[in-house]
Amino acid sequence: MTNKLPRLDRSIVLVGLMGAGKSTMGKRLARRLGMDFVDSDDEIEVAARHKISEIFDRFGEAGFRDGERRVIARLVGGAPRVVATGGGAFLNEQTRALLLEHCIVIWLDADVETLARRVARSDHRPLLRGKDAAAVLRELAIARNPYYAEAHLHIKSHSLPQEQTVDRIVEALAGWRGTS
């Protein structure tokens, strides 16, 4: 691993399917880089004064995605930070364009079996309620991976120790040569 930490003038945004490690890796990455961390799902809940599952129940996925788009635009409009997004955020054309233009977008990618194992640990994911997680994640991967592939950087998030994945992210950032 490189010892030189990159100096960043823009936010780093983590995208990928649920269970890819966006929040977990995002917190560790932010600490490593000396940046603030924010989870867009947490910020959506604060702004809406409701849990994400309640927003889905009351307003549907379309209502949730509209709020998500507005919150993410606010989050990346300030000082550079590490932002973990919800799994579907990058599918929105406006959100994707904003993030690709103003941030460094990193796709955390893992195989469906790893993702299913990770999401089995929690029960707060509206898209998985009462369904086979692996089957849902397989369908989501088919639909969403082409969008995630537009990210500036692609990092495999397998069952490595978390610090090794963060090492890979830092190395990729150190070598990133995007344009402002």
Report the binding-site residues for substrate: 41, 65, 87, 144
Cα(179)–Cα(120) distance, integer angstroms: 39
Best CA proximity match to 162, nearest among 3, 33, 22: 22
- The total of other beta-carbon atoms located within 10 Å of residue 137's CB is 27
For residue 14, the 8-state DSSP code is: E
- Quick check: helix, strand or coil at residue 127? helix
Looking at this protein, which amino acid is placed at residue 146? Answer: P
Binding site per annotation, positions: 19-24, 41, 65, 87, 125, 144
Binding site per annotation, positions for Mg(2+): 23
What is the torsional sign of CA 143, 40, 24, 36?
positive
Binding site per annotation, positions for ATP: 19-24, 125
- The total of other beta-carbon atoms located within 10 Å of residue 147's CB is 16
